[in-house]
Amino acid sequence: MRRRVAAGGALSLLLAASALGAAGAGDAVTEGGTAALVATLADGTEIARLAVPSGGEWCVLWRHSVQGFEVADCYENRDGHMVLVRSHQPDFAAGLGHIPGRGTQASDGAGGYWITGIDEPVPGDAYVLRAGSMAVDHRLSVGGTTVSLSARAARARVRIALE
């Protein structure tokens, strides 16, 4: 069961009811140029919906499973399409690093680095992420709002899409 929730600003976070009824229900009310960043489980259950205006940015954040530091992959709503624009990596730990020719690497001034100018469109404006445990804590962050995917779906397949 769903209910419509009015958005008070450009950004609204709405949770969908799970098949077991454990979460709140909702739909985003979007206005001209604003798309919805939607996180959905494999069975179609929506676990998060965030409004992202055209030109707006969001990041997927998580703690590295070995080193424990925070990593960020940041995307832009570029005219309704999901584009990976930059990534922050505090270390060259397992699985992390810069690929020559894919953006520009620069120091973050604190021992880590930013890879900027990636500008890589995401095919189909969506991808699948296996949300980690709370030790990893995969999160979506838009503006001042952060939603933990791990708290809602640890170890589950989550489709993240810009709709």
In this prediction, residues 76-95 reach a mean pLDDT of 85
- pLDDT tens by residue, 112-156: 888 999 999 999 999 999 999 999 999 999 988 999 999 999 999
pLDDT, residue 107, reads 84
pLDDT band at 4 (very low <50, low <70, confident <90, very high): very low
- Cα distance between residue 38 and residue 159, in whole Å: 8
Please answer whether residues 11 and 28 qualify as being in contact, where contact means their C-beta atoms are separated by less than 8 angstroms: no
Q: Is the pLDDT of residue 64 over 90?
A: no
User: Hey, which residues does 158 pair with through a beta bridge?
Assistant: 41, 129
pLDDT for 24-49, tens place per residue?
223 333 456 899 999 999 999 999 99
